[in-house]
Structure 1
Amino acid sequence: MTRPISDACLKCHVTFAKNTDASGKGNTYENNNFIYGIDCERCHRPAEKHVIYHRANPDSVQPKFIMLADTLSRQQSLDICAQCHSGLRSQQLKGGPFSFMAGENLELYSRNYYFNRPGAKLDVHGNQYGLLTSSKCFKESPKMDCTTCHNPHKNQRGDTSYFNHKCISCHETLISMCTAPKSEINAMANNCIACHMPLSPSETMKVKLTQDEDEAPIMIRSHLIGVYPNSAQMK
């Protein structure tokens, strides 16, 4: 069985790729027009002038010719992450899959499957943006964005202590008001995200390890922050 890798896949797993098919539907790319991985430019715009300047001026501590994250509005910051973390943005409105640049309005370039589908159930895979922005935490926190809890320059996967600290930094006065049974709190080991952002089965990511097995869903951390029943069994 073969699975074609298209622009829709690559746009979230590489910084740039040029399809040899002008329609973008092909499965062949130019080797000399391929930037592997997600690098600085996806969040800070093209940086050639920045690199040239700072190589020529290594003692300069003031960033030049680069998009600075702290100059962006909350929505502009969210849009950077939403390029890849807001579901399958299959409706291309403007340009190509790599046309959007930080600081622009992402909705002018593409829309995802859930646009104008208010009753659609958001899957835990891929649409962290949609889940987060649906959360009460987000709606009641005017400055909250992805970088409130995530540092894009560090690998924080599995760092439970770090993320718990992020929760407590905003909810410190509410810790003593937790209504969960003491036994459940102990089972969670005071792990905020295990209870309020539990691992949940994806409807779109499933694996079949052997020919005889049924497909099993991948468990992914939900970004819909809330209170979940039976979350102690889902951590």
Structure 2
Amino acid sequence: MDEKEIIVIAAIAIPISLVIIVIVLFSVFARRKNRLLQEQEAAKKEFERELAESQIEIREETLRNISWELHDNIGQLMTLAKIQAQMSLEKPEMMVEVSETIGTGIDELRALSKLINPEALKSLSLKEAVGMEIDRFNRLKFIAAKLTVEGIVTPIEANTQIILFRILQEFFSNTIKHSRASELSVVLDYTDNKLAITAADNGIGFEKNDDFMGIGLKNMTTRAKLINSTLRINSEKGKGTALYLECIFN
């Protein structure tokens, strides 16, 4: 094979080789791109599944809280109003107390309705929603509760805010029902791109093998992960329980 033939073959082979290399690289890139898209789609579906499960859990927990509120709070107010009404048959002056008790019951129903309705919550800031819960606890003398807000309040995406509020509601519910606490403090600390939430009670605390640690903490942690937040709960027997929740804004 003379030099000219070698040059001709090389001239043909090099472009063909380059074309083959380009095709192979394109094929590899396309496969990687497709795999990445499939992984993203799978991650999206997994997120949507976890979000749906979390929303179901939130609804179930909300329904349990409504049942408790209606039975132990509003139900007692209505029972008191009935007793007062019966007594007013002999003491007409007690009708004023009957009216006040019924009015209190109606106000509590309205407050409860607002705090369990996602659409109503979207019209409130997290500060306002938590403040309403704190005011209600104090008004009904469930517990001596206090809310502190630090920094400049930053608007939060509606679904993220609802999940943050539901996490706090679950903590509040466990505090009031099980902790035997007399005090509850909540701090919302806003910085440029972060919200740090602290909620603490002075109750009896719990150990890691308690039911609340097994189920309640798992539910709250799952919800926090859905909104790219971190949650930590510290508790010790006889020394109360504290929740630390950190949400990073996009």
Question: TM over 0.5, yes or no?
Answer: no
- The TM-score normalised by the length of structure 2 is 0.27
More helix by share: 2
Higher-Rg member (1/2): 2
- The TM-score normalised by the length of structure 1 is 0.29
